[in-house]
Structure 1
Amino acid sequence: MARIAFILLCHKDPDAIIKQAERLTAAGDYMAIHFDARAKPAHFWAIRQALAGNPNVTFARKRIKCGWGEWSLVQATLNAVSAALEAFPRATHFYMLSGDCMAIKSAEYVHEFLDERDCDYVESFDFFESDWIKTGMKEDRLVYRHYFNERTQPKRYYWSYMAQKKLGLTRDVPADIQVQIGSQWWCLRRRTIEWIMEFTRTRKDVMAFFRTTWIPDETFFQTLVRHLVPEDEIKARTLTFLLFSDYGMPVTFYNDHYDLLLSQDFLFARKISPEAKELKSRLGALYAAEGVEFKVSNEGRSLYQFLTGRGRMGRRFGMRFWETESTLGRERELLIVICKKWHVAKRLLENVRQVTNIPAIEYLFNEESTPLPDLGGIQSTLGKRTRHRRALMRMLFDYFDSDRLIICLDPGAIDLLHDFCGDRSTTRLLEVECRFSDEYLTGHAMRVGLAGEQTSPETLERLLPTIRHDMTFESDAIRDASFENLNRMRETDSFESNAVSVSRFLGISQDKAHEIVSTDYLFAD
């Protein structure tokens, strides 16, 4: 059975560290602690005294003063790993933790999970080719030497950095090393850890290189694992669930996140709020429990992005400067069907095709697979279609040799509606309002990745009102825009009433419009 040596880097909250060590070692696992040398000595001695009688706990022999972005974090980790290797010869896995981490599965589940797969878990993606680094310094992390800490010595840090750039003092990455990058929260097998420690003793050139790279805790272990371990024995993922805000800050979990955390395909989570006493108590009891079945739906990241995005609905209403004279054509008429239920709009368009000869295209700005003619590549991706939307529409008018064209749009595409309605051409809108049952909203949440088959009823109960409000918000935004030539047909209205709206929208007789809307299953899910 897997026996884990937890590598704990911490610098505060001694009571929480003591409880964490006692909880994790009670299941038969081990822990090696590195407590930051910058922290209060009294806190360190309180931890040592409280855990002195626990044979499954050891401490790094040498404590390091740690600073964010520095080599000191890697050295502190190596010191704790070295202590764990020596103290716990029966440890099969080494799991990196912080004081803010807690298990979100039972010890029984964790051990079975590691027993089932003989591999190392570490995010490790090519430093230069991947897009893991979203903003800020990239290659300069490696090719220049970083002797000072940006946060504590910013003047020295940037003076040294700029001086090297001005003088061209770059350096090469060691020839046989392919630098990788990823999260520092890894879980490695004992054999891998032993190989890494041996590597640190024999490859002084690589060690010297990483000592002066910037933020080496995101590259050092990630690179060495790829260098030493066969690729088919590496899972490029972390087993610790963590989220980052749009501003690059770690997301903190609170008492009401218990069900969400348990449903994620991870073993631990970071960061747990120090004030989340109830959450900590429940997770602590869970770790010691036996026979617990976990329904893993793993919708955490998409759910967080969806919920946080509701408060930031910034949209671009104005045209780009090169588009101001790029009209679709004064003599042309663009007809847009707006509907959240795509299958309803597609049925409506099929009826329109049968009754009229107006060319019609479905969700070309929302659905990648929408059938389109070859227009020289501008139609190949959703990104290109949206960026060059006016050029695309002009080409489609020309392709169909028509001055009238129907397309479908999702109500969320309010920026496109503003853009097209601001054109010199005539734009007519038909908003199709549908009813949304809880069953439909649940299916929608699953289709877009906000929920899964294993999502708990409690999570769905909290999620559905937000999705419903989101759809209401989109419809309200269309109304608030006061678009000209806006018509509406509703699932709750009669065929006659909807036929009037379609007649105005398409400019056809009421009889033809009634033929289009009188399908009994038009609004069926």
Structure 2
Amino acid sequence: MLPIQASRQPEMVADSQLLVAEDGLLTVTFIMLCHDSVERIVNRARLILDNDSTCRLIVHFDKKASLKVFQTICYQLDSHPRCHVMRNRVRCGWGQWGLVEAPLRALRYAFKNGFMSDYFYLISEYCYPTKPLVSLREYLTRNAGMEFIECKDKDWIKAGIREDRYLFVHLFDKRKHPRLHRWMYKCQKKVGLKKRTPRDLNVHFGSQWWCLTRFSSYNLLVDNEDLYFFKYSWIPDECAIQTRVAALVDQEKISKPLTHYEFDDSGRPIEFFDTDSLADGLTHFFVRKLI
């Protein structure tokens, strides 16, 4: 069995006291996962920072992407006091553990550096706000203590394997090495070589885009052996954190995510080109993927 190593506990403890800003509203730290366009990343970062004068923004740029692009992003954003471009980066292949490890590293960075926001909101460079961000903070203040994340059963998955995503070891990037990915999976399935599942593990699935309280965000980083069980799973960003949060809080504390997304029949995200038709959504404050 491949070794599973849990992360080291961060150096500060998060309490549950609300840390409202001077305007009486809860505070948010945004974590933005990026891998592509300098222009889009910088514009999205500045839009968020200008729209919410109380927020912080942590930018994680895919380690396997262009170093020149990363250096340009650092040059353009490092001077902003509330924007933090991470240097401790990870490679983020589609369907790979990096898409879980990146936000975990961002959270670890936030707690280590004293970002005691009430909520941590995971977005990407393709997420665009549909409303003024003060509306988001007002909504979070009215619903303080709720976790905004999808935690569904296996029927949430539209296409492809379900339980086998986490019951077998998946080491190869399916997009880069489809034959190796399929061969390794079929070999394990043929001989019945499954991973040892932690006792009482109740796996949940859902969108990777979440907005979590400081309590849940901190507890993703401690006592997280169950979380790291998913390290060698297929598409762990759609089950690892969802499963952990569902185990941390009561079901009535879990609400639908605040980012609007849609999948097509094959499970691929639908692209949007404007937000006009979505701006009146009751509880959606971001939309993706906006091209």
TM class by smaller structure: 0.7 to 0.9
- Out of 133, 141, 150, the position equivalent to 2:157 is 133
Q: Does 1:162 align with 2:182?
A: no
Counterpart among 263, 266, 273 of residue 244 in structure 1 = 263
Aligned equivalent of 1:227, options 247, 272, 277? 247
Q: Which residue of 1 aligns with 2:122?
A: 96
Cα shift at 1:85 = 2.4
Cα distance, 1:267–1:121 mapped onto 2, change above 3 Å: same
Following superposition, the deviation at residue 36 of structure 1 comes to 0.5
Kindly report which structure 2 residues correspond to 1:198-217, keeping only aligned pairs within 5 A, or say none: 198-200=222-224, 203=225, 206-217=226-237
Is contact 1:242–1:251 with CA below 8 Å preserved after alignment?
yes
Say if 1:58 and 1:87, in contact at 8 Å, map to a contact too. Answer: no
> Do the aligned partners of 1:126 and 1:178 also contact (CA within 8 Å) in 2?
no
- In structure 2, give the amino acid aligned to 1:154: P
1:175 Cα offset (Å): 0.7
Could you tell me how far apart the structure 1 residues matched to 2:247 and 2:151 are? 11
**Whole-Å separation in 1 of the counterparts to 2:246 and 2:236:** 15
Report the CA distance between 1:226 and its aligned residue: 0.8
Equivalent residue letter for 1:272 = L
- Inter-CA distance 181–95: structure 2 relative to 1 (3 Å threshold): same
Question: Aligned match of 1:264 in 277, 281, 284?
Answer: 281
Q: Check whether the contact 2:153–2:204 (CA below 8 A) recurs between aligned residues.
A: yes
Out of 140, 162, 178, the residue aligned to residue 114 of structure 1 is 140
Give the Cα separation in 1 of the matches to 2:228 and 2:122.
23
Question: Which residue identity does 1:219 align to in structure 2?
Answer: C
The 8 Å contact of residues 11 and 39 in structure 1, kept in 2 or not, is answered as: yes
Task: Tell me the equivalent position of 2:11.
Answer: none
Q: CA deviation at 1:208?
A: 4.5
The residue number in structure 2 matching 1:387 is none
- How far the C-alpha of 1:207 sits from its partner, in A, is 4.4
Q: Distance in 2 between matches of 1:170 and 1:99?
A: 36
1:50 aligned onto 2:68: no
Partner letter of residue 222 of structure 1?
Answer: Q
Q: Counterpart of 1:63?
A: 89
- The one-letter code matched in structure 2 to 1:253 is F
In the alignment, the residues of structure 1 paired with residue 272 and residue 158 of structure 2 have an alpha-carbon distance, to the nearest angstrom, of: 23
Superposed CA offset, 1:396-440 (max 9, x none): xxxxxxxxxxxxxxxxxxxxxxxxxxxxxxxxxxxxxxxxxxxxx
Distance 2:108 2:228 in 1: 19
Please, which moves more after superposition, 212-221 or 15-24? 15-24
The answer to whether 1:181 aligns with 2:205 is yes
Contact 2:204 2:243 in 1 (8 A): yes
How far off its partner does 1:86 sit? 2.8
CA contact (8 A) 1:14 1:47 kept: yes
Query: How many matched pairs?
Result: 263
The Cα offsets for residues 338-388 of structure 1, whole Å up to 9 and x where unpaired, read as xxxxxxxxxxxxxxxxxxxxxxxxxxxxxxxxxxxxxxxxxxxxxxxxxxx
Q: CA–CA distance in 1 between the matches of 2:200 and 2:117?
A: 31
Structure 2 residue aligned with 1:34, among 50, 60, 67? Answer: 60
Shift of 1:74: 0.7
Deviations 1:185-217, CA, capped at 9 Å, x for gaps: 1000111111111133xx2xx244211111100
Distance across 1 between alignment mates of 2:185 and 2:116: 45
Q: How far apart are residue 52 of structure 1 and its match?
A: 1.4
Distance 2:165 2:265 in 1: 22
1:265-414 equivalent positions in 2, closer than 5 A: 265=282, 266-273=284-291
Q: CA deviation at 1:245?
A: 2.4
Do 2:31 and 2:121's aligned partners in 1 also have CA atoms closer than 8 Å? yes
**C-alpha distance in 2, partners of 1:83/1:55?**
15
Q: CA deviation at 1:75?
A: 0.9
Question: Residues 104 and 268 of structure 1 are in contact (CA less than 8 Å); yes or no, is this contact kept in structure 2?
Answer: yes
Could you say what secondary structure the match of 1:96 adopts?
strand
TM-fit CA distance, 1:182: 0.5
Letter in 2 for 1:122: I
> What CA deviation, in whole Å up to 9, does each residue of 1:167-188 have, x standing for no partner?
1112342113211000111000
Q: CA deviation at 1:84?
A: 2.2
8 Å contact from structure 2 (residues 59, 85) kept in 1:
yes
The secondary structure found in structure 1 opposite 2:32 is strand
Runs of 4+ aligned structure 1 residues displaced above 3 Å come to none
The aligned counterpart of 2:37 is: 13
Deviations 1:440-488 (A, max 9, x none): xxxxxxxxxxxxxxxxxxxxxxxxxxxxxxxxxxxxxxxxxxxxxxxxx
Q: Quote the offset at 1:254 in angstroms.
A: 2.0
Give the drift of 1:223: 0.4
Aligned residue for 2:8?
none
Cα deviation, residue 47, structure 1: 0.9
Does structure 2 conserve the Cα–Cα contact (< 8 Å) formed by 1:58 and 1:84? no
1:179 is paired with a residue of what secondary structure? coil
Q: Are 1:124 and 2:151 an aligned pair?
A: yes
Normalising by structure 1, we get a TM-score of 0.48
Identity %: 35
Give how far 1:68 is off: 0.8
Higher relative contact order (CA 8 A, sep 6+): 2
Instruction: Extract unaligned runs of 5+ from structure 2.
Output: 1-24
Distance 1:247 1:140, change over 3 A: closer
Structure with the higher fraction of residues in helix conformation: 1
